Amino acid sequence: MKPIKVKTGMKIPWDTRYSLSLLILLSSTLFLCNGQDYGTPTEDGAGEPPPEMARCNGIFMSYSFGSREREYPHVKNVTAQSWAFKSTAMIVNAGKEELTGWQMFIGFRHKELIVSATGAVPMDGDFPLDASNGTTFVGSPNTDLKTSILTAGDFTQISTNIEITGTLFGVAKSVMPMPKTLKLVNDGWECPAAKRKG
């Protein structure tokens, strides 16, 4: 008698194309699952407080120059060359009293033309605004800055970030175009002179 061969299961033809396709599919799935980040401090753009603010027991203000790009027309005369710039100004109530109707003066000095700002509006006119001699920003929509005590440390209620976009003139590429002054205009508040860092 002859033994009978019985096939169990189904034979799957594996060749390198199928193996490679399966590997690519599994790899892309793993990368897609690794893409979420829950580390954002806030949704509306207000970041974490700067380290310098730890020593402040009142109103903290800062100005950070972000970036610039050379605008057309490109000219050889440095004083006539225009640059598109982005910067951020921040005001934070780190004190015990609410700051109502805040007003921040930024003493621009490079023939700045402010094209837009988020988190505040200029008191001196509409966009585009000639800010050659500085301009005062007022809160919009956050006109009042509450205290950390009354908000359980909610940074969105005690601070405002002003994202500024504009054009400036007459600055060489190697020079950091910072404003001359930064001050709180509101009556009844005394602030020390601004310090330049970096």
Task: Tell the CATH topology of 53-183.
Answer: Immunoglobulin-like (2.60.40)
Kindly tell me if the per-residue pLDDT of 41 is higher than 50: no
58-106 pLDDT tens trace:
888 999 999 999 999 999 998 899 999 999 999 999 889 999 999 999 9
Instruction: State residue 22's pLDDT score.
Output: 60
Q: pLDDT tens-digit profile of 18-29?
A: 666 665 655 554
Q: What pLDDT does 55 receive?
A: 66
- Residue-level pLDDT at 38: 37
Specify the pLDDT at position 8: 59
Q: Which of 31-45, 60-74, 114-128, 177-191 has the lowest mean pLDDT?
A: 31-45
User: Rounded to an integer, what distance in angstroms lies between the CA atom of residue 57 and that of residue 94?
Assistant: 5
Q: Note the pLDDT of residue 80.
A: 92
In the chain, where the domains are located: 53-183
The better pLDDT of the pair 111, 188 is held by: 111
Average per-residue pLDDT in the chain?
81
Q: Is residue 54 scored above 60 in pLDDT?
A: yes
The predicted pLDDT at position 192 comes to 66
Q: Tell me: pLDDT of 40 over 80.
A: no
